[in-house]
Amino acid sequence: MAANRASRPRRDPNTNSNYEKIVTSKIAVNYDIDFGKKRLEGNVVLSMKALVDGVKDIVLDTSFLDIKSVIVEDAKSEWTLKDRKEPYGSPLVITLAEGISKGKEVQIDVALATTNECTALQWLDPAQTPNKKHPYMFSQCQAIHARSVLPCQDTPDVKAPVTYTLRSPHFTLASGHLTTHDEAANKYTYEQPIPIPSYLIAFASGDIKSLPIGPRSQVYSGPDEVKGCQWEFEDDTENYIKIAESIVFEYAWKTYNVLVLPNSFPYGGMENPVVTFATPTVVSKDRANIDVIAHELSHSWSGNLVSNASWEHFWLNEGWTTYLERRIQARLHGEPHRDFSAIIGWKALEDSIKGYGEDHEYTKLVLNLDSKDPDDAFSSIPYEKGYVFIDYLEKLVSREKWDKFIPHYFGTWKLKSLDSFEFKATLLDFFASDSEATNLLNSVAWDDWFYKPGFPPKPNYDDTLVKGCYALAEKWHARSSQSFTPNSSDIDGWTANQSVVFLEKIQSYPAPPIPKEDVVLLGDTYGYAKSSNVELVSRYFAVGLMAKEESVYKPTGELLGTVGRMKFVRPLFRLLEKCDRKYAIEVFEKNKNFYHPICRAMVEKDLFGDKKA
């Protein structure tokens, strides 16, 4: 909490700001969105309040910003932009004429423009948008990219309300509520009155239309896609909100909307308040991937109201969110669906842990990110090890008692940020008067859960929904030695996610997971090769690449030119590279401007190591 901060050691190693001494209490973002120059230009006003006496230097995070002037309380103040240090950017040091005393506020008005090196923004030419008529731009600030859009205290440990004034010739959205739209001036103002961390600052602008998907929800997308998007989400969005409200408490952000972005959006979804940003791959025309919406909605409590204090405690955001998402699914579709999803999650956890190696720092729940880039530590581990931990705690104290803790936890920490130790203290404190629960909680190996790398104890999940998927995978795997004639009816009655489990099981066999000559048969028999669900096609291609079946190389290359979601792009590049490095590099070079800067940088690291292509 802000009041205790000055006496504490530094909680967030991923910011250059001196937020122990002074904190942001309000942010006003005022930008022209200049599509011609592909940059934002304007000013940002930060109201800042001193936590201690005599604050003279204010250090803000910036990354590749073109700072033009800094005015403090209407007087020109001294400022310097320090040398850039990877991966945290260039500290902007503002030196006040006189130190300010504890509790006093100052206003800092910075005039600036973004630059071509900005890592948070993607600018799309008309040709890169669905209807190819207008340019498009969007932001992605999590984890530490907000500093490339505005000077700020770029740490989730500081929260402030935000107002946006954005000028653009195209429809513009931001992570707040629209307050005015002046058509003649092309000006939109948005307000987010609930204090939010910098990583939730977000906006997008382009040829965007909307349709309702619930009583308090709209979907936004390109004009030609919006009807399809409406169909995908309209049955479930309000149910998700109501169920989440009954598990935690009332939804705080008034409206819940979804913006479906162009193909290059690098994530499945991003929980920007009021408006979730989502990849178009969730719109698979079968409603099979809307768990992403349940997930992003759940962040409205875990992450957006109650935030991790630093990226070292990211599991508090993602583990809790994965937990809430699965509780929502269980309520809607039955308890076996919770475990079904958890089994898929365990596989993702296995892949991540094996990928890093079982002793790796990033396989811990609580990380040491000192001098590290949080993007490099991003994996399924905070999601799935976090889920396994919360699921374990729930079962330990009993579902009934845990369900009372959930609203208490979110109520205690809403509008604040916390670390894993505060989570533990809140839990122990809540059950202090319940000796049975306290005894159980005292048996928890807290330090192992927080700091032991590698696998947590494996839970016993209900495997009703996966058994058939595993059995079919085994048949394909053993086809060369045992007779088995595949038929499309093998998967009758399956959900798309059961096919995902089937394909992942196949992928888990040593390469080649199925005989090379069976790959095409697999894709044709079950329709995976031509599916509009990228979850299916991409996994089918992965199986083909593992079997080194040449006929999937080109379609993989083509898919890599139409989706920019890192979950698909990174594994496919890794596999394609193993088959044909020259072709993989050719595909990357051809599409690198299509990918969002974050995705581009990650694939570059995957293909070429830390040195640039």
* Residues contributing to the annotated binding site: 140-142, 266-271, 295, 299, 318, 565-567
In the list 15, 30, 142, 498, the residue contacting ligand BES (rule: CB under 6 A) is 142
Q: Which residues contact 209 (CB under 8 A, 6 or more apart)?
A: 171, 220, 221, 222, 223, 226
The active-site residue out of 20, 296, 535, 577 is 296
Nearest to ligand BES of 386, 557 (CB atom): 386
Q: With binding defined as CB under 6 A, does residue 296 bind ligand BES?
A: yes
Nearest to Zn ion of 122, 321 (CB atom): 321
Q: Which residues are annotated as a binding site for a peptide?
A: 140-142, 266-271, 565-567
Rounded least distance, CB 347 to Zn ion, Å? 18
- In contact, 337 and 330? CB cutoff 8 Å: yes
Long-range CB contacts (within 8 A, 24+) of 539-545: 539/500, 539/503, 539/504, 539/507, 540/503, 541/572, 541/575, 542/503, 542/507, 542/571, 542/572, 542/575, 543/503, 543/506, 543/507, 543/513, 543/514, 543/519, 544/519, 545/572, 545/575, 545/576, 545/578, 545/579
Point out which span in 241-249, 291-299, 386-394, 444-452 binds ligand BES (CB under 6 A): 291-299
Nearest to ligand BES of 188, 267 (CB atom): 267
Q: Which residues contact 404 (CB under 8 A, 6 or more apart)?
A: none
Rounded least distance, CB 410 to Zn ion, Å? 16
In the block, tokens 């990174």 appear at: 570
Nearest to Zn ion of 24, 289 (CB atom): 289
Point out which span in 57-65, 266-274, 525-533, 551-559 binds ligand BES (CB under 6 A): 266-274
In the list 156, 262, 268, 557, the residue contacting ligand BES (rule: CB under 6 A) is 268
Q: With binding defined as CB under 6 A, does residue 293 bind ligand BES?
A: no
Q: 3-state class of 114 per DSSP?
A: strand
Rounded least distance, CB 209 to ligand BES, Å? 24
Q: Which residues are annotated as a binding site for Zn(2+)?
A: 295, 299, 318
- Rounded Cα distance between 230 and 211, Å, is 6
Q: With binding defined as CB under 6 A, does residue 143 bind ligand BES?
A: yes
* 296 catalytic residue (yes or no): yes
Nearest to ligand BES of 222, 319 (CB atom): 319
In the list 292, 381, 397, 472, the residue contacting ligand BES (rule: CB under 6 A) is 292
143 binds, among ligand BES, Zn ion, none (CB under 5 to 8 A by kind): ligand BES
| Residues 601, 606, 610, 613, CA torsion sign | negative
In the list 299, 337, 347, 600, the residue contacting ligand BES (rule: CB under 6 A) is 299
Copy the structure tokens of residue 41. Answer: 């230009």
- Rounded Cα distance between 50 and 162, Å, is 19
Angle 393-425-439 from CA coordinates, rounded to 5° = 55
Q: With binding defined as CB under 6 A, does residue 271 bind ligand BES?
A: yes
Nearest to ligand BES of 137, 202 (CB atom): 202
142 binds, among Zn ion, ligand BES, none (CB under 5 to 8 A by kind): ligand BES
The active-site residue out of 19, 31, 240, 383 is 383
Three-state SS letters, 141-205: CCCCCHHHCCCECCCCCCCEEEEEEEECCCEEEECCEEEEEECCCCEEEEEEEEEECHHHCCEEE
Question: Strand 160-167 to strand 22-34: parallel, antiparallel, or no bridges (unpaired)?
Answer: parallel
Q: What is the DSSP string of 242-287?
A: HHHHHHS---SSS--EEEEPPTT--SSEE--TTEEEE-GGG--SSS
* 422 catalytic residue (yes or no): no
Question: 318 to 337, contacts with Zn ion by CB under 5 A?
Answer: 318, 321
Question: Strand 22-34 to strand 39-50: parallel, antiparallel, or no bridges (unpaired)?
Answer: antiparallel
Copy the structure tokens of residue 193. Answer: 């009155």
Beta bridge partners of 23: 49
Q: With binding defined as CB under 6 A, does residue 535 bind ligand BES?
A: no
In the list 21, 49, 295, 477, the residue contacting ligand BES (rule: CB under 6 A) is 295
Rounded least distance, CB 142 to ligand BES, Å? 4
- DSSP single-letter state for residue 457: P
Point out which span in 99-107, 177-185, 262-270, 463-471 binds ligand BES (CB under 6 A): 262-270
Q: With binding defined as CB under 6 A, does residue 450 bind ligand BES?
A: no
Q: Exposure of 74 by Cβ count < 10 A (0-12 exposed, 13-18 middle, 19+ buried)?
A: exposed
Nearest to Zn ion of 207, 318 (CB atom): 318
Copy the structure tokens of residue 397. Answer: 């104290």
157 binds, among Zn ion, ligand BES, none (CB under 5 to 8 A by kind): none
Nearest to Zn ion of 318, 419 (CB atom): 318
In the block, tokens 């888990």 appear at: 508
Site string for ligand BES, 354-383 (x = CB under 6 A): ------------------------x-----
Cα separation values, 598 from 14, 60, 120, 351, 592, Å: 17, 22, 7, 22, 11
Q: With binding defined as CB under 6 A, does residue 154 bind ligand BES?
A: no
- In contact, 149 and 120? CB cutoff 8 Å: yes
In the list 270, 305, 328, 559, the residue contacting ligand BES (rule: CB under 6 A) is 270
Count of chain residues binding ligand BES (CB under 6 A): 15
Contacting residues toward Zn ion, per CB under 5 A: 318, 321
**What is the set of active-site residues?**
296, 383
Contacting residues toward ligand BES, per CB under 6 A: 142-143, 267-271, 291-292, 295-296, 299, 318, 378, 567
